[in-house]
Structure 1
Amino acid sequence: MNKFEETLKNYANLAVKVGINIQKGQKLVINSPIECADFVRLIAESAYAEGAKDVYVEWHDEKMTLLRYMNAPMEVFQNFPTWKADGFNQMAEEGAGFISIAASNPELLKDVDPKKVAENNKASSIAMKKFREYSMNNKVAWCVVSVPTNDWATKVFPDLPEEEAVEKLWKAIFMTVRMDQEDPIKAWEEHLRNTENRVKFLNEKAFKTLHYTSSNGTDVVVELPKGHIWAGGGEYNTKDVFFVANMPTEEVFTMPKKTGVNGVVVSTKPLNYGGNLINNFKLTFKDGKVVDFEAEEGYETLKHLLDTDEGAKYLGEVALVQYDSPISNSNILFYNTLFDENASCHFAFGAAYPTCIKGGSEMDEKEREAHGVNTSLTHVDFMVGSSDLNIVGETPSGEKIQVFKDGNWAF
């Protein structure tokens, strides 16, 4: 076994042991592009070795996806197969763990009618609503990881031959998930402890508002609901199993008050959404709602995203990531939200995680609404962090504390 093969196997073990934290007798579901089959097999091998009962794989073929979009009628994209949604619901009910491999071609659907993509996203969101509640309420353990594909690698490194681009992307990914450390699992344990210290500080302060300012035009005040909870690094599911939902992860996050966002937000990285890029966009918020927006690239895609439902026009997540972080310092634009959101402070359109407010997982939708929790069929992160981003928090007593200064933690 050469060095690369050894590192890849250790990476699969990391996803299974630390990411999903598979339990003996548990089933595992893996979502993956077919290009990542070798890595999927390593994950399955590791899961079985740790005592998994069975491993199921949901394969995705981007070439077939593109063929379908270019040839199938609109009605196909307005209906999501109920058998597929039922299958995921059943696996979640049985306590399965879920690993997703995020490795899509950022420009796969650039020539596809944005309306088709929007209709497909909406139909799948409706059909998968029950399953999404399992993950967003931490009723199941889940983890998102990534490995390179040819199309993705050549988008990230367009000046390199394909083979070199893939090799360089492998190195970048291994760095972001600490596989370049002598003991990756130990490195992750230390990283999770450091993240927990940030979470503890923010929860102790219980800020009422966060005021974001940056020279690019961002100037927004975000109100946080009473009883909000900051989280980050890893979390416990309802069966008291600790898992890490994103690998890599550099963020700490909570929810905003649905109607408490006012001001202007300017994006700092492209957003890869549904096979299309949205870039250089600006959003104006009033009482939580996007009341105006513009985009140099992907305007129609952004418009369809915001039109998913009423909740898509509001924010569901506030996430803090320092500019001086491993992914940001790589100076690589990944065109993949898993990485780019962990290189930058970000917000998310749409649904909030109920676990980010006290008692949220036990509330119904009306109760959540009364507590300022946004509900939506979608949840899409977009990046706003920069080298001169400043964030000032105000506590319930009126004390103002610098949380971020020039893009980094101020404490």
Structure 2
Amino acid sequence: MDFERNLDKYAELAVKVGVNIQPGQTLLVRSPIECAPFVRKVLVHAYNVGAKHVHIEWSDEQCTLLKYLNAPEESFNEFPKWTSEQYVDIAKEGGAFLTIYAQDPDLLKDVDPQRVANFQKASAMALKEWRSYTLSDKCKWSIVSIPTEAWAKKIFPNVSTSEAIDKLWEAIFKCSRVEGQDPIEAWKKHNEDLKLRMNFLNEKNFKTLKFKSAKTDITMGLPEGHVWLSGASEDPNGINFNPNIPTEEVFTMPHKYDVNGVVYSTKPLVYGGNVIDNFSLTFKDGKIVDFTAEKGAETLGKLIDTDEGSHYLGEVALVPFKSPISDTNIVFFNTLYDENASCHFALGSAYKTCIKNGDQIKEGESDKHGVNESLTHVDFMIGSNDMNIVGETYDGEEIQIFKDGNWAF
């Protein structure tokens, strides 16, 4: 009974806080077929708040794997035009997008990495116009996660499948603030707390950030006019939504050409059905000039080589080491969760909302503002309990932002 109650509250949270559906709005839900019971609850809540249409796009990982193992080579250089057109049409009509991210971290470990890289690039190119809506918050979008057998067993390999799923549900409900009496009110308070930290960072208008831990040593410039954002976003109609549930981050963009030093990962990165782990990136004038990886080096190299912009950073996000997600002491092998348990950077495109008048920057003119453009945007985790971050203002004042992995203010 408690599980069903929490499941229903989680679905309601995704609808009312995640995408915050308004009367007459269309919602597209993208979900693995395993998550159907949850999607049905989402559908009911969406219609109850006035949604006009709820479209479901199902996926099946076993079918995905079979395609990678059996389809002809040329199929991975194409992406269905009707899919990208559907996304853009919904976005133009003011619709919203809810993605249920529950990937098997090892799904494609036995697949030729070049096939994966080809399809990642083909899909990124096909969805470029749609991503321009999500990267600039011109439409509402949100990501949540649901346990699947493969994902749960990756996290909890030493228990039965049913117990692994139960343990993962428990963690998801806790991290998403679902267990309390009123999750929606809890998220309102959480967003307000994140906003206070966001406002502090915007008031200081830092010129540079210095990240220092036992391994990482990075100096990062921030572009003039940069804007810090937090958990809640706002669509063109002034309607709030939460792109990530859960979220603990306050984020902005680095200057494309002003990142120098070396950064080490602190959690595994799941990308393209493969795990990349224990890796480092060395930057000079913003560009990756060297990298290492104990696991997934080939996959990491192909990610970096997606295009010119994937050699640069597009996001810097601050997340305290002590947070509901980090306190679980679970490595989730899921970027939605792991990135919200750790400070992180992102390879690839910046969010245009992270710079003043970003929506007025035309394609091809981003460089002169220090804004990175790319077909991809992939977060990777760099936070640790010994991470110290110092911001320097344009007046030369140095202010401690993080001390020993947590907020210093």
Matched-pair contact (CA < 8 Å) for 1:360–1:368: no
Partner of 1:254: 252
TM superposition shift of 1:367: 2.8
Matched-pair contact (CA < 8 Å) for 1:139–1:239: no
Q: How does 1:223-242 map to 2 (within 5 A)?
A: 223-242=221-240
Determine helix, strand or coil for the equivalent of 2:6: helix
Partner of 1:287: 285
Q: How does 1:134-173 map to 2 (within 5 A)?
A: 134-173=133-172
What is the aligned residue count? 409
Residue identity in the other structure for 1:12 = A
Q: Distance in 2 between matches of 1:249 and 1:171?
A: 17
Partner of 2:381: 383
Q: Distance in 2 between matches of 1:201 and 1:362?
A: 26
TM-score (norm 2): 0.99
TM superposition shift of 1:365: 2.0
Partner of 2:193: 194
Q: How does 1:83-162 map to 2 (within 5 A)?
A: 83-162=82-161
Partner of 1:312: 310
Determine helix, strand or coil for the equivalent of 1:365: coil
Partner of 2:15: 16
Residue identity in the other structure for 2:26 = K
Determine helix, strand or coil for the equivalent of 1:367: coil
Matched-pair contact (CA < 8 Å) for 1:265–1:284: yes
Determine helix, strand or coil for the equivalent of 2:82: helix
Query: For each residue in 1:37-84, what CA deviation from the matched residue of structure 2 results, as whole angstroms up to 9, or x when unmatched?
Result: 110110001000000001001111000000000011221001111111
Query: For each residue in 1:251-283, what CA deviation from the matched residue of structure 2 results, as whole angstroms up to 9, or x when unmatched?
Result: 000000000000000000000001100000011
- Deviating more after overlay: 386-395 vs 366-375: 366-375
Residue identity in the other structure for 1:294 = T
1:325 is aligned to 2:323: yes
Query: For each residue in 1:114-137, what CA deviation from the matched residue of structure 2 results, as whole angstroms up to 9, or x when unmatched?
Result: 000000000000000000001111
TM superposition shift of 1:233: 1.3
1:361 is aligned to 2:359: yes
The gaps in structure 1 that reach 5 residues or longer are none
Determine helix, strand or coil for the equivalent of 1:325: coil
Determine helix, strand or coil for the equivalent of 1:208: strand
Residue identity in the other structure for 2:265 = S
Partner of 1:273: 271
Query: For each residue in 1:354-393, what CA deviation from the matched residue of structure 2 results, as whole angstroms up to 9, or x when unmatched?
Result: 0000000121023322100000000000000000000010
TM superposition shift of 1:400: 0.3
Q: Distance in 2 between matches of 1:69 and 1:334?
A: 25
RMSD: 0.6
TM superposition shift of 1:182: 2.4
Q: How does 1:344-359 map to 2 (within 5 A)?
A: 344-359=342-357
Residue identity in the other structure for 1:59 = W
Partner of 2:203: 204
Query: For each residue in 1:200-245, what CA deviation from the matched residue of structure 2 results, as whole angstroms up to 9, or x when unmatched?
Result: 0000001000000111x10000100000000011011112111000
The gaps in structure 2 that reach 5 residues or longer are none
Q: Distance in 1 between matches of 2:71 and 2:170?
A: 38
Q: Distance in 2 between matches of 1:41 and 1:81?
A: 26
Q: Distance in 2 between matches of 1:309 and 1:221?
A: 24
Residue identity in the other structure for 2:44 = E
Q: Distance in 2 between matches of 1:213 and 1:365?
A: 34
